[in-house]
Amino acid sequence: MKGFGPSTFGELYAEDYDKWNDPGTTDEAVDLLWEIAANRKTLELAIGTGRIAVPLAQRGLEIHGIDASPEMVAELRKRPGGATIPVSIGDMADVDIDGSFDFVFLIFNTLFNLRSQNDQIRCFQNASTRLNESGLFLIEAYVPDLSEFVDGQFVRTRHVGMNSAFVETAVHDAAAQTVEYQRIHMTETGTRFRPLPVRYAWPAEIDLMAKLAGLQLKDRWGSWTRAPFTGTSKMHVSLYEKSK
């Protein structure tokens, strides 16, 4: 999708991101991340509006962030406690930040916002170089479900009102493992388009990216409450450690 760069997500979604993007698992995610992070100096890649980082900072965690979008970070700054979290504006594939960390995490499927396998591998490699010897890296992502596509596409209605409709369309490229979404909001006053291109990966490929970056799988769960990961899990929370 030409014209969609690392900062485009925030330009399109920041203003009402928190209203429309509540996965319903924020408290559980914060609890598990807090448990894993303990007193570890932590970095969140793609920190966004601080949905997760702000509650962690409020519990006393030293947490830093990277995000490509000044608009998303401006929303983070508005949250109570969000003003003092150190955030670098940059591409998470580069992890261009000073210092080293004991824990790095990248959640809410955001690895897939990097739209090539190379960029995803680069993200793992650069995150790994920022990790101390006993450092941990955590990813949360959905397990791709190709059954939602018919003839490489879908159209689904998200919401209808008396004078509005919210429709999501998608085109799937199975060879590139990419999906280009277009979310279309139609009201009496006009139509708004909000695209989102992603490149998905299955857990096994993600493990291989980790391996290339000198990381090995330590734990994998099928939920933030540590449900076992099985063949029917819709998502995974995967924890990596430096390869021995």
Ligand X SMILES: C[S@@+](CC[C@H](N)C(=O)[O-])C[C@H]1O[C@@H](n2cnc3c(N)ncnc32)[C@H](O)[C@@H]1O
Interacting residue ranges for ligand X, rule: CB under 6 A: 6, 9-10, 46-48, 51-52, 66-69, 72, 91-93, 107-108, 110, 113-114
Provide, rounded to whole angstroms, the least separation between the CB of residue 47 and ligand X: 6
Provide, rounded to whole angstroms, the least separation between the CB of residue 49 and ligand X: 6
- CB-side neighbour CA atoms (13 Å) of 98: 1
* Residue nearer to ligand X on the CB measure, 52 or 210: 52
* Residue nearer to ligand X on the CB measure, 78 or 160: 78
Tally Cβ neighbours within 10 Å of residue 74.
14
Q: What DSSP state is assigned to residue 228?
A: B
Provide, rounded to whole angstroms, the least separation between the CB of residue 95 and ligand X: 9
Q: Left, alpha or beta for 60 (phi > 0: left; psi -120 to 50: alpha)?
A: left
* Residue nearer to ligand X on the CB measure, 28 or 186: 28
Phi and psi angles of residue 30, each rounded to the nearest 5 degrees, phi first? -65, -40
Distance CA 158, CA 242 (A): 42
* Residue nearer to ligand X on the CB measure, 197 or 203: 197
* Residue nearer to ligand X on the CB measure, 72 or 136: 72
Provide, rounded to whole angstroms, the least separation between the CB of residue 151 and ligand X: 28
* Residue nearer to ligand X on the CB measure, 84 or 232: 84
Pairing mode of beta strands 215-221, 190-199? unpaired
Provide, rounded to whole angstroms, the least separation between the CB of residue 77 and ligand X: 13
Beta bridge partners of 88: 66
Please give the structure tokens belonging to residue 12: 């399109």
Q: Which residue is nearest to ligand X (CB)?
A: 48
* Residue nearer to ligand X on the CB measure, 93 or 141: 93
Q: Left, alpha or beta for 197 (phi > 0: left; psi -120 to 50: alpha)?
A: beta
Provide, rounded to whole angstroms, the least separation between the CB of residue 168 and ligand X: 15
Give whole-number Cα distances, 242 to 111, 183, 212, 217, in Å: 19, 39, 11, 9
Provide, rounded to whole angstroms, the least separation between the CB of residue 6 and ligand X: 3
Reference 94, options 58, 70, 118, 64; nearest CA is 118
Please give the structure tokens belonging to residue 127: 């995150």
Q: By three-state DSSP, how is residue 173 classified?
A: strand
